[in-house]
Every structure is written in structure tokens, then in C-alpha cells.
Structure 1
Amino acid sequence: MRILHTSDWHVGKVLKGRSRHDEHIRVLGQVVDIARAEQPDLIVVAGDLYDTAAPSPDATRLVTRALSALRRTGAQVVAIGGNHDNGQALDALRPWAEAAGIVLRGAVRDDPAELVVTGRTAGGEPWQLVTLPFLSQRYAIRAAEMYELTAAEASQTYADHIARLIARLSEGFDQPGVVNLVTAHLTIVGATAGGGEREAHCVMGYAVPATVFPANAHYVALGHLHRAQQVTGPCPVHYCGSPLAIDFGEEENVCSVAVVDVAADRAARVRHVPVTSARPLRTVRGTLEQLGTVQEPDAWLRVYVREAPRVGLREDVQELLPNALEVRIDPDMVPDRAGQRMAQRAGRSPRELFGDYLDSRDGAEDGVRELFDELYDEVSQSS
């Protein structure tokens, strides 16, 4: 069977105050075109369909239209919620999704059987897919409690709870002739962040080892990290990456979707198909004269100016480069005030430093210097 694996659309993203709605229309249109060309049996969207838990009507309309267009290619479509999504709001769309022939799993509910999706390709090949939407620390414990944990088990780590959930959900992976698949929105230990992820949900408390996935899984389709990559694990584990660079920290990423060919008796073969419809993000540096020679008419720019700070500098840069969304003074041009203060303080006694402080503040009460000296002498003698 063939799978198209995509993730981290972040529809509704605003970059430094600039809407990217038109870019998302082009990007998702290209993803649909890739699906038409590749003719996958199954399309997996591994979370973060939206950039915010309260998407605008335009963002909701774009996501539902994109999912519908993917379904019209003839593929079966499964999408899960990510940490940017409102899982309950996604689940509220399930009546629409089911009517459209789309499987939508926004959050983990009380019935874990809902998280295992089964199907057959047009050629009759059976597959089963474990779907694990993003779980916060608190909800990971609540989800694991469905399995009647002991007190000791309930106090284990986030990774322990995720491992227990996946193990329980994948118990049916021992059926012969079935393609076993997992999709989840997770940070895996050792994987490389793309640069624009929400840090609070990528720190080590949320990182799980790849060993949480069963060895008899034929392919694991991950979302959450925005850089396309394979992760070493007991089975094929892949991030497909985001189809557009979310922030300037991702400007070097190659935006793509993954196309996977896999069978019950054959190892997964993964190809990353580039998605090129978004405007590139670029960082440029230089003096005003140098910036005047920059030729990046189609890119969003982050600019580091090699000029002394002054009123009107930002406006001068944006006149030269209208696509400059972020303008900063190059760090090399900013004095190291901390270093200067350290140098000024070096070798000076506490009395001298406190005296300088009092001199800098007009109206210090009489006797404060003498009181400090008495306290300092008392502390020095006692130590």
C-alpha cells in the first residue's frame, strides 16, 4: 500500500503580524496535487492542522476544504489533533468528517478502541492504524488511568504513560498479513527540532524514546517536529516535516510531505516530496548600503542591520526591503554593557561599590554609609 504522510500545517499562522493565508492556500493545494499524482491508498495528517486552538472561520474553511480535496483523490484520510489544535473542537467536526468519509481524532476519549482505525486498500490489502493525538502531561495520566493503574504506575513519567497507551492500542498488531501503522504527535528523544515548535511541548519532560513504538509496526507517521527526518527505533519512525517554514528558525528546512510504500511482508520505503509553494524565509545582514543590494523579492526577511541604533532606522530598512518583517540591530553593533559593568566593578570593595550606588542616587539619607560600614564589618568578622 502507499501512504502520504503530512503534518504541521499550522493554518492560521501569522508571522510577525503578517497573515500567511494565501500561502497556505497554495501549499495545501500543492499537497492535494501531490496526492493526485502519487495516488496513495491512505493519507495521514499527523496533527497541528491549525496554528491556534481558536482558529478563524477562514482557517477552519481552508482545513476542511483541504481534507475534503484529499479525500476526493480516492485515498482514505485520517487526521489527528496536535498540541496547537483544540482536540475537543476537532472532535466536534467529526459528524461532518464522517459524512465526508474522513476519520478525525482530535483527542483521546474514554473509549480507546476509537483510536484504532482499520481499512483496506482498493486492492484488498488490510491495514490498521493506531492514532494518538497530542496528550498533555495531565491528560496522559488521565488516559492511562483508563487501564486501572496502580498508585506506583500512576506516578510514572509522561513517557511511561505514552508507552503504556501505545502498547495497549497496538495489541492487535500480531495479525498476519495486516499492515500495522501508528500515527502520533510526539517529541522523540534524539530527534532534531525544526526551529519553530512551541518549546513548552518539546522539552525533555515531553520527549519519549522511540522504543515506545512496537517492533512489529511497519511505519510510524509522526507530527510535532517540523524537520523531515528518520528517527532510529525498533521500526521505521519518520517525521514528514511541515509543508512550509513556520518561523525564521526554520528557514533552512526542506519543506515536504512523505510518500511511503509498505506491505505486510516488505519494509517501508520512504520518499520526501518537496513542497515549494510557500514564500521562503531569509535572514540578511549588512549596512544600509549593503542591504540596498539584496535581491529577495519573493522572500519574507529578517534583517540584522550593521548600523548604530537611531530613530528612523527601521523605516529606512523597510523602505529598502518592503518584505522585511523583523528588523534588528546586528548583535555585533550593540555594546556589551554587561561586560563594561563587570570591568568597572573588578577589584573594587563592597564599600566602594555601595558608595558609588549612593552617589548615583540623590537624596540618600544621612548615616546610610556609616550603617552599611557597621553591617559589613559585623558580617566580615563573623565569617
Structure 2
Amino acid sequence: MRILHTSDWHVGKVLKGQSRVEEHVAVLAQVVEIARAEQPDLVIVAGDLYDTAAPSPESTRLVTRALSALRRTGADVVAIGGNHDNGAALDALRPWADAAGITLRGSVRDQPAEHVIEGTTSAGERWRLVALPFLSQRYAVRAVEMYDLTAAEATQTYADHLARLLGKLTEGFSEAGVVNLVTAHVTVVGASQGGGERESQTVLGYAVPATVFPNNTHYVALGHLHRAQTVLGPCQIRYSGSPLAIDFGEGENVPAVSVVDVTAQTAAKVREVPVTSASALRTVRGSLEQLASLKTGDAWLRVYVRELPRAGLREEVQEMLPRALEVRIDPDMIASTPGPRAEERAGRSPRDLFADYLASRGVSDEGVQELFDELYEETSA
């Protein structure tokens, strides 16, 4: 059978005030075109369909249309909730999804069978997919208790809970002649972050070892990390990555979807198919003269300016580079002279204190001081 694995769409993403909706329309249209060309039996969307738990109607319309278009290619479609999604809200869409022939799992339900999806390809090949949406620390404990396993101890880790849940859900993987699959939205130890993930839910107790996935699994389709990669483990474990760069930390990633060929008797073979419809995200550095000579195409830019700080510098850069969404002074240009101690600040005016701060940072532009004076007067009135 053939699987198209994608994840981390983050529809509704706004980058430094810039909407990405037109890029998302183009990217998801290309994902659908890839599905038409590759003719997968199954499409897996491994979480973070949205960038926010309260998506706009426009974002909801885009996601539902994309899922419907993927289903119209003839593939079965399974999508799960990620940490950016509102699991309950996704579950509220299940009547629509069921009517459209799409399997949607937003949150963990109280019946294990809800998360074990079975199907048969047009060629008669059977497959079984365990679909596990994102679980927070707190709900991982509740999920274990829901399934009447042994008592959840307070000292047990997040990884312990996920291992027990997956052990319960994959009990049927011992059956011969079936392609066994898992999809989850989780961080696996040893994988590389893509640069734009939510830090608190990729480390600090949320990472799990690859051994939580049983070795009789043919393919594990993961979401959460935005860089496409295979993770060493007891079976084939892979992140498809995001089909577009979400933040500037992901500028080096290659957006793609994963196409997987696998049978019950053979190991999964994975190909990356690039997704090229979105604008690149680039970080550039230089003086104003150097920046003026750059050819950046349609990329969105993060700019580190090698100039001393002064009023109006940001506006100069953005006039020169209209697609600069973030403008910063290169750290090498900022002085690191320590400011006055607390006892030296006592009794001094805000204007004098701000002047000291500017001096400590190597800023000598009187215009900056004048802007501070104006702002201080307005807020003090």
C-alpha cells in the first residue's frame, strides 16, 4: 500500500503581523496535486492542522476543503489533533468528517476502539492504524485511567503513560497479513527540532523514547517537529515535517510530504516530495549598503542590521526591503557596558535613566531620546 504522510499545516499562522493565508492555499493545493499524482491508498495528517485553538472561519474553511479534496483523490484520509489544535473543536467536526468519508480524531476518547482505524486498499491489502492525538501531561494520566489499566502513579513520567496507552491500542498488531501503522503528535528523543515548535511541549518531560512504539509496527507517522526526518527506533519512525516554513528558525528546512510504500511482508520505503509553493523565510545580515545589493526574491526576511542604533533605522530597512518582517540590530553592534547600580539610579528622573541606558548600549542618536521624552509625556499626562 502507499501512504501520503503530512503534518503541521498550521493554517491561520500570522508571522510578525503578516498573514500566510495565500501561501497556505497554494501549499495545500500542491499537497492535493501530489496526492493526485502519487495515488496513495491512505493520507495521514499527523496534527496541528491549525496554528491556534480558536481558528477563524476562513482557516476552518481552508482545512475542511483541503481534507475533502484529499478524500476525492480516492484515498482514505485520517487526521488527528495536535498541541496547537482544539481537540474538542475538531471532534465537533466529526459528523461532517464522517459524512465526507474522513476519519478525524481531535482528542483521546474513552473507548480504545475509537483510536484503532481499519481499512482495505483497492488491491485488497488490509491495514490497521492507531491514531493518537496530542496528549498533555495531565490528560495522559486521565487517558491511562480511562482505559482501566493499572493505577496511574504520580511519579510516573509522560513517556510511561504514552507507552502504556500505545501498548493497549496496538494489542491487535500481532495479527499476520495486516500493515500496522501508528500516527501520533509527539516528540521522540533523538529527533531534531525544526526551529518553530512550542518549546514547552517538545522538552521538559514531553519527549518520549522511540521504544514506546512496538517493533511490529510497519510505519509510524509523526507530527509535532517541523523538520522532515527519520528517527532511529525499533520500527520505521518518521516526521514528515511542515509543508511550509512556520517561523524564521525553520529557514533551513526543506518543506515536503512523505510518500511511503509498504506491505505486510516488506519494510517501509520512504520518499520525500518537496512542497515549493510557499515563500522562503530568510535571515540576512549586513550594513545598509550591503542590504541594498541583496537579491531576496519573494522571501520573507528577518534582517540583522550592522549599523549603530538610531531612530528611523527600521523604516529605512523596510523601505529598502519591503518583505522584511523583522528588523533587529546585529548584536555585534550593541555595546555591553553595564548600567548604573540600583543605588546610583535612586532619585534620578526617567529621562536621565533612559539616557544612561542609551549610553550603555552605544546609542548616541538624539532622536531616540526625543521620542522617549514625547512618549513619557503622553503616558504621564
What TM-score do the two structures reach when normalised by structure 2? 0.89
What code does the residue aligned with 1:84 have? H
Cα distance in 2, alignment partners of residues 174 and 154 from structure 1: 31
What's 1:118 paired with? 118
What's 2:336 paired with? 336
Q: 1:111 to 1:152 in 2, by over 3 A?
A: closer
Cα distance in 2, alignment partners of residues 114 and 209 from structure 1: 25
What's 1:241 paired with? 241
Offset at 1:146? 1.8
| Bigger Rg over Cα | 1
Q: Deviations over 1:139-164 (max 9, x none)?
A: 00000002334446454111000000
Cα distance in 2, alignment partners of residues 319 and 49 from structure 1: 34
- Kept in 1, the 8 Å contact 2:145–2:151? The answer is no
Q: 1:166 to 1:362 in 2, by over 3 A?
A: closer
Q: 1:357 to 1:21 in 2, by over 3 A?
A: closer
Cα distance in 1, alignment partners of residues 281 and 152 from structure 2: 48
What code does the residue aligned with 2:144 have? A
Q: Deviations over 1:83-125 (max 9, x none)?
A: 0000000000000000000000000011111000000000010
**Structure 1: which 5+ residue stretches go unaligned?**
345-355, 364-383
Aligned residue runs from structure 1 range 22-101, under 5 A: 22-101=22-101
1:255 and 2:255 are equivalent in the alignment: yes
- Kept in 1, the 8 Å contact 2:110–2:147? The answer is no
Misfit runs of 4+, over 2 Å: 147-155, 356-363
Cα distance in 1, alignment partners of residues 243 and 93 from structure 2: 23
Cα distance in 2, alignment partners of residues 218 and 106 from structure 1: 24
Cα distance in 1, alignment partners of residues 204 and 342 from structure 2: 42
Cα distance in 1, alignment partners of residues 156 and 190 from structure 2: 21
What's 1:352 paired with? none
Offset at 1:336? 1.3
What's 1:306 paired with? 306
Count, aligned residues = 348
What's 2:14 paired with? 14
- Kept in 2, the 8 Å contact 1:256–1:274? The answer is yes
- Kept in 2, the 8 Å contact 1:191–1:231? The answer is yes
What code does the residue aligned with 1:209 have? P
What code does the residue aligned with 2:325 have? L
Offset at 1:45? 0.2
Q: Secondary structure at the match of 1:266?
A: coil
Q: 1:109 to 1:298 in 2, by over 3 A?
A: same
- Kept in 1, the 8 Å contact 2:248–2:282? The answer is yes
Offset at 1:294? 1.0
1:361 and 2:341 are equivalent in the alignment: no
Cα distance in 2, alignment partners of residues 130 and 196 from structure 1: 27
- Kept in 2, the 8 Å contact 1:128–1:181? The answer is yes
Offset at 1:42? 0.2
RMSD across aligned positions (CA): 1.4
Aligned residue runs from structure 1 range 150-161, under 5 A: 150-151=150-151, 153=153, 155-161=155-161
- Between the two proteins, what is the percent identity of the paired residues? 74
Cα distance in 2, alignment partners of residues 57 and 184 from structure 1: 26
Q: 1:142 to 1:327 in 2, by over 3 A?
A: same
**Structure 2: which 5+ residue stretches go unaligned?**
349-381
- Kept in 2, the 8 Å contact 1:145–1:154? The answer is no
Offset at 1:337? 2.6
